[in-house]
Amino acid sequence: QVQLVQSGAEVKKPGASVKVSCKASGYTFTSYGISWVRQAPGQGLEWMGWISAYNGNTNYAQKLQGRVTMTTDTSTSTAYMELRSLRSDDTAVYYCAREWYSSSGWWFDPWGQGTLVTVSS
């Protein structure tokens, strides 16, 4: 079955960087993109950006431009999200999700299990 498995929880100090991985299985990795979504404690969902697993093209949310980098390793079917210059308000659960795109729209299915990133001094 299609599955996205993410790396484990991280605790980082303000100003540090974090890199979260998302390993895909059950489908042809390069046929779909991967989006990253985060959710602060008790808050809603925030789209962070997207990467094409086919050619590496990216589209980042404007508020994260310059701090986020998304990459893929097609040899291991793994996507990565690195966030730099961490602040306390970056504390959140980070999700990866497989992107579906067609003429009728753009949606995410399935999602990874989530990775809690805690930023604290």
Partner 1 sequence: QSVLTQPPSASGTPGQRVTISCSGSSSNIGSNTVNWYQQLPGTAPKLLIYSNNQRPSGVPDRFSGSKSGTSASLAISGLQSEDEADYYCAAWDDSLNGLYVFGTGTKVTVL
Interacting residues with partner 1 (CB under 8 A): 35, 37, 44-47, 50, 59, 61-62, 95, 97, 100, 102, 104-114
Q: Which is nearer to partner 1, 31 or 75 (CB)?
A: 31
Cβ atoms 103, 29 nearer than 8 A? no
* Smallest distance, partner 1 to C-beta of residue 61, A: 5
* Smallest distance, partner 1 to C-beta of residue 121, A: 26
| 105, β-bridge pairs | 102
Q: Which is nearer to partner 1, 19 or 101 (CB)?
A: 101
Q: Which is nearer to partner 1, 23 or 61 (CB)?
A: 61
N-term to C-term CA, the chain: 40
* Smallest distance, partner 1 to C-beta of residue 71, A: 19
Phi, psi of 8 (to 5 degrees): -80, 175
The structure tokens 């497989």 sit at 98
- Tokens representing 5 are 């498995």
